[in-house]
Amino acid sequence: MKIAFGFEGKMAAKEKTSMAIEKVMERFCISSLKDEQRQILQCILDRVDCVAVLPTGFGKSLPFQMAIPVRREMGMSDVGKLLVCCPLISLMQDQVAALQKISNLTAAYKGSSGESDLNILKGRIDVIYGSPEAFVGDPEWRNSMQHLDVTTIVIDEFHTIATWGQNENGKEAFRKWFGYLGELRSLFPDANVVALSATCTKKTARRVKKCLNLSDKTVEIIVSPDKPNIKLSVSKVSTDVETSMFWIIDPLQELLEKFPRVLVYCTSINDASKIYNYIVREVPSSVQHIDMYHSETEDLKKEFIVNELKNCDSSLRIVVSTSALGMGIDAKAFHSVILFGAQTNCSDFIQEIGRVGRDNMPSVALILYNRYHQRLADEAIKKILMTKQCRRVSLLENFLEDKDLQEIKDVSVGRHTCCDNCAAKCSCNKCELLPVEKMFNLAYVNSKQESDTDSDSDKTEMYESLDEDLGEIL
């Protein structure tokens, strides 16, 4: 009888949880949850540690945002607070603004205003956002918030612990307090930890688990970061921006507001400025269709650009940026990204690639690098740039175990939509290029000129070649 009662009790609890989740989903205006999202939510409800690596655009924030409303629907006595450690203010602002629209739920981030901070410390806020500098690096704030009933600690974009918060290759940590986030466990010893990221290499995962004091019993939920709809195409270009980017000028002049929407990521503000100014100088009429985003961009301009990215009908066609235009952006109807200088590590590399094609439509990542970029890249990135084999496999072997990697090989390798190396070996006779890739190939690759040594006459021939073939794109 005890066994039967126990079984019935578990079934009743499971049904109660399911009903509560369904009600909260209506408040969040969603019709369904992915299996992985349900697993994360269940870990939070059960107060179990969890590490989840889910691709960009997967919706990894939704489970922890739903947790407190679900607890309330279930009638739980200890609803508690959620502490969300987030790397970027723009992410906090977006998520807090969205949660404030949900009834019977309060959210705020530390530092938004004096009144908001006071509400947090008085226990009036359910979901508390803040940076590592606020939660760990500010002694006064640390001491003030210790009385709060924090039941779950969420570390969003946890790979930044390793990439930003720890010394590497003798360099000082970019933001050292990321490396001290494990201290949150000592501040709130009864809280479980949920670590979330869109990208995390196997090496980084090991370092982060150690930093956060996560045990071997931690639940791991991992979805491959592969975006099979995004083709990878790599080319070595000149160190001169004009020689490297001339191919975009004529098509932009012809198309303007009809030019394909493109994100251009640069590894420095200097490169971003050079590209932006070169394009505007060559095509003055494009000034209303191109913008630039980096850490020094004024806040109002940043807000404008982010809103335009979300607007499918926007006249903004090209955004030249650094990694400051980063995690959590929602770029709608963007199917082309240009990486001018590959990121120095695989996590940032795959993050930037994944910011286009979020509607699963065919997309392309055009990676352009010069000899200086190559020197700065780590060995894993150099391998991707230099390999004659499948670039997708070379990238994903940093993230996936052999079994999962083999599945990628079975599905993708050898198809023209996989990468430029695979496309060169494809024999389907149906290969098609997306407009941006075609623009580049017509002007740059097919010229068969070494861009580092081009003479003025060589450049003229390139421009003339593009003029002749532009009709094929248009």
Q: Does residue 462 carry a pLDDT above 50? A: no
pLDDT for position 49: 94
213 plus 234 within the same structural domain: no
pLDDT for position 459: 42
210 plus 358 within the same structural domain: no
Average pLDDT over every residue of 82-86: 93
325 plus 259 within the same structural domain: yes
Residue 114: inside a domain, yes or no?
yes
Average pLDDT over every residue of 302-331: 89
322 plus 213 within the same structural domain: no
pLDDT for position 1: 40
The CATH number of the domain holding residue 83 is 3.40.50.300
190 plus 311 within the same structural domain: no
Percent of the chain with pLDDT over 90: 56
More confidently predicted of 283 and 445: 283
What is this structure's pTM? 0.77
124 plus 267 within the same structural domain: no
d(CA 403, CA 227): 18
User: Can you give the C-alpha Rg of the chain in angstroms?
Assistant: 24
Q: Which of 222, 256, 273 is the last residue of a domain?
A: 222
Contacts with 29 (C-beta within 8 Å, 6 or more apart), sequence order: none
- DSSP per-residue codes, 292-304: EE-TTS-HHHHHH
Residue 25: inside a domain, yes or no?
no
In this structure, are residues 83 and 154 in contact, taking their beta carbons and an 8 Å threshold?
yes
Q: Which of 173, 202, 222 is the last residue of a domain?
A: 222
Q: How many other C-beta atoms lie within 10 A of the C-beta of residue 310?
A: 12
Average pLDDT over every residue of 186-203: 88
pLDDT for position 174: 60
State the angle between helix axes of 35-46 and 62-73 in degrees (0 to 180), rounded to the nearest 10. 50
173 plus 239 within the same structural domain: no
Residue 122: inside a domain, yes or no?
yes
Structural domain boundaries enclosing 377: 230-473
Residue 10: inside a domain, yes or no?
no
pLDDT tier, 346 (very low <50, low <70, confident <90, very high otherwise): confident
pLDDT for position 5: 46
pLDDT for position 173: 52
Q: Does residue 193 carry a pLDDT above 80? A: yes
pLDDT tier, 467 (very low <50, low <70, confident <90, very high otherwise): very low
179 plus 302 within the same structural domain: no
Per-residue model confidence as pLDDT tens digits over 357-416: 989 999 999 999 999 999 888 899 999 999 999 999 999 999 888 888 888 888 777 788
More confidently predicted of 159 and 67: 67
pLDDT for position 445: 61
Contacts with 185 (C-beta within 8 Å, 6 or more apart), sequence order: 153, 191, 193, 212, 213
Burial of 93-125, coded b for 16+ CB within 10 Å and e otherwise, reads: bbbbeebeebeebbbbbbbbeeebbeebeeeeb
d(CA 162, CA 168): 9
Per-residue model confidence as pLDDT tens digits over 231-255: 999 999 999 999 999 999 999 999 9
Residue 28: inside a domain, yes or no?
no
Residue 23: inside a domain, yes or no?
no
pLDDT for position 120: 95
pLDDT for position 330: 78
pLDDT tier, 323 (very low <50, low <70, confident <90, very high otherwise): confident
pLDDT for position 214: 86
Per-residue model confidence as pLDDT tens digits over 132-161: 888 988 899 989 999 999 999 999 888 777
162 plus 253 within the same structural domain: no
Residue 248: inside a domain, yes or no?
yes
Average pLDDT over every residue of 304-312: 93
Average pLDDT over every residue of 308-318: 94
pLDDT tier, 168 (very low <50, low <70, confident <90, very high otherwise): low
In this structure, are residues 411 and 228 in contact, taking their beta carbons and an 8 Å threshold?
yes
Contacts with 96 (C-beta within 8 Å, 6 or more apart), sequence order: 107, 108, 109, 112, 127, 129
Q: Which of 362, 367, 408 is nearest to 387 (CA)?
A: 367
Residue 20: inside a domain, yes or no?
no
pLDDT for position 402: 87
More confidently predicted of 121 and 88: 121
More confidently predicted of 451 and 13: 13
pLDDT tier, 224 (very low <50, low <70, confident <90, very high otherwise): confident
pLDDT for position 465: 45
pLDDT tier, 200 (very low <50, low <70, confident <90, very high otherwise): confident
236 plus 110 within the same structural domain: no
Number of domains in the chain: 2
193 plus 249 within the same structural domain: no
90 plus 238 within the same structural domain: no
Average pLDDT over every residue of 90-94: 84
pLDDT tier, 282 (very low <50, low <70, confident <90, very high otherwise): very high
Collapse the DSSP code of 385 into the 3-class scheme (helix H, G, I; strand E, B; otherwise coil) and give the result.
helix
d(CA 418, CA 364): 10
Q: Which of 205, 222, 239 is the last residue of a domain?
A: 222
In this structure, are residues 126 and 81 in contact, taking their beta carbons and an 8 Å threshold?
yes
Lowest-confidence pick of 32-36, 159-163, 186-190, 436-440: 159-163
